[in-house]
Structure 1
Amino acid sequence: MNSKIENIRIHCFDYARDRIIGDSQIASSRVWIGALEIFDGDGLSGLGFFQSLTAPLPNASFIRQLLEASGIQGMVNQAPESLIHQVTRPRGGNIQSLPYHLDQAIDQALWDLVAKRAELPLYQLLGGTESKVKAYGSGVCFHLSDEQVFDFYSDAIKHNFSGYKVKVGHQDISRDIGRLKQIVEIVGQDKLIMVDANEAWSPKEAIAKIKQFEGAGIPIYWVEDPILRTDIAGLKEVKQALTNTHLNAGEYLNLAGKKSLVDNDAADVINIHGDFSSALRIGWLCAEKGMPIALGNTPMEMGVHIASALPEVLYTEHSMLNWDYIVDSPFNINQGYIELPSQAGHGLTLSKDAIAELKPSVS
């Protein structure tokens, strides 16, 4: 296809979550998610998602103004294939990211559109061959009561995940240990348990906490982001002190930050998210060193396409969030694996019924 990009459309949604999600630092009770569509001259479209966790999104017209101020109009009359491979040369004030993960939304929409134009499922366009990827269940459950945790994980085990992640980082270690024991009892002792502290600890605290979990009879497969993201020396200290637990880091870092983790051997597992272009780059670096990758939460789990394409990916996260309410056909989970769609693109389309019911702002 030779048609160029013609226009974009933006939806901004606001609706209640089916549970409070959060970690040791934040809590969220509403879904503030936006959808960005990029259209070419043949009527094909690519879809990407942006979001806010802590405050409502602005309306769609304001988001459009942000994008126009950042130069998105320069995409019009361009071939999307050229944009996904474009290497820019940022200098000074150009070194900045758009708010609300809008950069990722543009990237996702472009890759979706290019895959549709190539008439390939996105994972195949990315070089993947696996039509399903291993997932772990994640409750994002720090603020839930014991009763709510019981209900969530009792339902989650129907998917037969081989691993489950638990939010930790409470000031009272006995609360974390009690939560972990509760979840192990629900999911079974044969399942892997991961913990995510969301930077709650210092290096020495992180080492002590993990050893306390182990001393309480709870083996930890990996600890995610135990300390400040930029403390490379501290991450190396934690990594070297933990003999049975892997260190997972990189969720909050950009591509340069993730590269620093790889170069300094400061993590056992590199955590990546929903930016396809950056994922391919860090995937190459990890493959060169044989360093494992974990896919964190991505909108509607679209990161499964990356997980299929990168050989070092161990797991992709599935938090069973109701943000997939706004799409027609969420990805299916079967015996602990997320199944990839067979249609061209990433396989997600906005639900007309959800748009009619939720009445998002549109621009």
Structure 2
Amino acid sequence: MRLAGYEITRFQFARDRVIGDSQVRISDVNVAALELIDEHGRRGLGFVQSLFHPLPAQAEIARVFAEEVWPGLEGQSPMGLVHRVSRPRGGNQRAPSLPFHEAVQVALWDLLGHQQGLPLHRMLGSRRDSVRAYASGLDFHLSDAEFTELFGRADALGYTAFKIKVGHPDFERDLHRLNLLARTVRPGARIMIDANEAWGVKEAAAKLTTIREAGFELLWVEDPILRHDFDGLRLLRGLVPWTLVNSGEYLDAAGKRALMTAGGADILNVHGQVTDVMRIGWLAAELGIPVTLGNTFLEVGVHMAAALPEVEWLEYSFQNLDHLVDEPMAIGNGVITAPDRPGHGLVLSAQARTRWSAPDILPRDGLGPAPPAAYK
């Protein structure tokens, strides 16, 4: 059951809305599906993502993968690869030219699940198959009308927790958005905010105090200050004891470990690299620090969320990517359920391979209309 081949399919299409935060603005989807294939023809699926710029043409993606990544995978067992521990030394430790790291981890675990006939979360040791999802707008660049429509629809779908983007240069706008959210969603909803490192320590403390005095009880504030300011994050935790500091999103596994041991997180934010997430999640459990799953492509993070202790929430951001796979993750009434299918349960659809594939780079005005939005 060794790796025998791979297939790469490139996608480029317009989003149904502009997404972003206080630092970034994104209007397109630029991804490539990576399918790792074993000697019996079974496939494991992962996605290569570029948030801000189109990926190279499909042929170039395949060339880079063949030269930089495939030699370390070919002929080997997925089971051995997902558990391998490498020795970090010198120039050997460098990222590939394209962002393959997460895609490879996800595809290997997915293929291993197909080989073993087990859902990914079961292979990871889960005791459940579902977790609560909160509605995240990625809403910084939306108009008030678009903001209200998005969160009003999320409320109608049964979500009970909502996260909005803050960190605007005009703090009154942040307060306005919180008021708008409160008028849009159900009474008693849980509210989180995400500043994406827009503030300094004292600024964050002052603004969070003002938010509380305005009557808003926050479940957490996410990435309020710079990611590596561990002393500042620890200080902020003490300055605002009425809310939780959610941090670690932008750090790799080593950075997350340093963050936790420095006391810089009430909640640790992790994403989609399965092996890395499980290793850092085990350490978080040892340190008594809860974990939350941020955005993961097509919500594959539900498997890690179901397997790790103390995970209460997974982020869902209405990113309109479901058309890429046959059966997306099931979400209803603010709960996401991991499929009982082998691997992570996502299979690249035949329609995606034809209707939505883009082997060559397309100009922005050549993307055509966005795929129809699918809210759930």
Q: Verify same fold: TM over 0.5.
A: yes
Alpha-carbon separation, structure 2, partners of 1:297 and 1:116: 24
What residue in structure 2 maps to residue 315 of structure 1?
313
CA contact (8 A) 1:262 1:285 kept: no
Any idea what SS the aligned residue of 2:12 has? strand
Any idea what SS the aligned residue of 1:7 has? strand
Indicate whether 1:177 and 2:175 are aligned. Answer: yes
Q: After superposition, what is the alpha-carbon deviation per residue over 1:136-156, rounded to whole angstroms, capped at 9, x for unaligned?
A: 110000000000011111111
CA contact (8 A) 2:192 2:219 kept: yes
Aligned residue type for 2:358:
P
Q: Which moved more, 1:224-233 or 1:70-79?
A: 70-79
Alignment of 1:1-363 (within 5 A): 3-98=1-96, 101-361=99-359
Q: Once superposed, what is the RMSD of the aligned Cα atoms?
A: 1.3
Any idea what SS the aligned residue of 1:29 has? strand
Alpha-carbon separation, structure 1, partners of 2:345 and 2:310: 23
TM, length-normalised to structure 1: 0.96
Q: Which moved more, 1:15-24 or 1:84-93?
A: 84-93
CA contact (8 A) 1:5 1:80 kept: yes
- Report the CA distance shift for 1:199/1:100 in structure 2 as closer, same or farther (over 3 A): farther
Alpha-carbon separation, structure 2, partners of 1:98 and 1:272: 21
What residue in structure 1 maps to residue 371 of structure 2?
none
Identity %: 43
Q: After superposition, what is the alpha-carbon deviation per residue over 1:64-117, rounded to whole angstroms, capped at 9, x for unaligned?
A: 222233242231111111100111112222222235531000000000000111
CA contact (8 A) 2:269 2:294 kept: yes
Aligned residue type for 1:126:
L
Alpha-carbon separation, structure 2, partners of 1:5 and 1:82: 11
Alpha-carbon separation, structure 1, partners of 2:48 and 2:75: 23
Alpha-carbon separation, structure 1, partners of 2:96 and 2:171: 37
Alpha-carbon separation, structure 1, partners of 2:98 and 2:332: 31
Alpha-carbon separation, structure 2, partners of 1:20 and 1:327: 22
Alpha-carbon separation, structure 2, partners of 1:124 and 1:179: 40
Alpha-carbon separation, structure 2, partners of 1:103 and 1:24: 26
Aligned residue type for 2:88:
P
Any idea what SS the aligned residue of 1:113 has? helix
Alpha-carbon separation, structure 2, partners of 1:149 and 1:355: 33
Alpha-carbon separation, structure 2, partners of 1:197 and 1:34: 29
Any idea what SS the aligned residue of 1:345 has? coil
- Report the CA distance shift for 1:337/1:200 in structure 2 as closer, same or farther (over 3 A): same
- Report the CA distance shift for 1:134/1:222 in structure 2 as closer, same or farther (over 3 A): same
CA contact (8 A) 2:69 2:96 kept: no
Structure 2 unaligned regions, length at least 5: 361-376
Alpha-carbon separation, structure 2, partners of 1:16 and 1:236: 40
CA contact (8 A) 2:160 2:186 kept: no
Report the alpha carbon displacement of residue 200 of structure 1 after superposing the two structures with TM.
0.5
- Report the CA distance shift for 1:356/1:36 in structure 2 as closer, same or farther (over 3 A): same
Q: After superposition, what is the alpha-carbon deviation per residue over 1:28-60, rounded to whole angstroms, capped at 9, x for unaligned?
A: 111111110000011111000121111111122
CA contact (8 A) 2:64 2:98 kept: no
TM, length-normalised to structure 2: 0.93
CA contact (8 A) 2:155 2:186 kept: no
Structure 1 unaligned regions, length at least 5: none
Any idea what SS the aligned residue of 2:99 has? helix
Alpha-carbon separation, structure 2, partners of 1:258 and 1:314: 19
Q: After superposition, what is the alpha-carbon deviation per residue over 1:227-263, rounded to whole angstroms, capped at 9, x for unaligned?
A: 1101111111111111111000000000001001111
Aligned length: 360
Aligned residue type for 1:264:
A
CA contact (8 A) 1:159 1:333 kept: no
Q: What stretches of structure 1 move > 4 A for 4+ residues in a row?
A: none
Aligned residue type for 1:348:
L
CA contact (8 A) 1:51 1:100 kept: no
